[in-house]
A and B are shown apart, each in its own frame.
Chain A
Amino acid sequence: MDKINAVLKRERKLAVFPIVGADHCARLLNIDFSEVATDGKKLARVLEYGYQLYKYDMVLVFSDPYVEAQALGCEIEFKPYPSLVTAKTNKRFDRTSVIIEAAGILKKKVDVPIFVSIKGPFSLASFLVGIDKFLKILLKDENEAKQAIDEALEFQLRYLEELLSLNVNIFLGDPVASASVISPNTFQKYAYKPLQILINKIKAKGLIAGIHICGETKPLVNILDTLTADILSIEDITPKTKTIKMGGVSTQTILHGTKAKIRAEAQIALEQAPIILATSCDVPPETSSENIKELIKYGQK
Chain B
Amino acid sequence: MDLEKIKKAVVEMNENATRELVNLALKEKVEPRQILEKGLIAGMKEVGRLFSCQEYFVPEVLLASETFYAGFDIINPMLKLQKIPPKSKVVIGVVEGDIHDIGKNIVKVMAEASGHQVIDLGDNVPVSKFIETVEKEKPDVLALSSLMTTTMMQMEVVIKQLEAKNLRKKVKVIVGGAPVNQDFANKINADGYGKDAAEAVNLIEKLARG
Contact = CB atoms under 8 A, between A and B. Distances in A.
Interface in A74-116: 79-81, 83-85
Interface stretch (B55-63, B71-79, B198-206): B55-63
Main SS of the interface on chain A?
loop
Contacts of B66: 136
A142 B59 CA distance: 13
Interface string B156-180: 0000000000000000000000111
A186 B59 contact: yes
B99 interface: yes
Contact of A251 (B54, B62, B124, B179): B179
Contacts of A251: 149, 179
Size category of the B interface is 20 to 34
A256 B182 CA distance: 12
Interface in A20-76: 23
A138 B59 contact: yes
B115 interface: no
Nearest to B66: A136
A135 B102 CA distance: 10
Contact of A281 (B57, B102, B179): B179
A146 to B, nearest CB: 15
Contacts of B98: 83
B97 A132 contact: no
Interface string B58-101: 11101100100000000000000000000000000000111111
Interface of B: 13, 54, 56-60, 62-63, 66, 96-102, 105, 124, 148-153, 178-181, 183-184, 187
Interface of A: 23, 79-81, 83-85, 131-132, 135-136, 138-140, 178-183, 186, 214-215, 219, 250-252, 255-257, 281-286
6 contacts: A80-B97, A136-B59, A182-B57, A186-B57, A215-B178, A284-B149
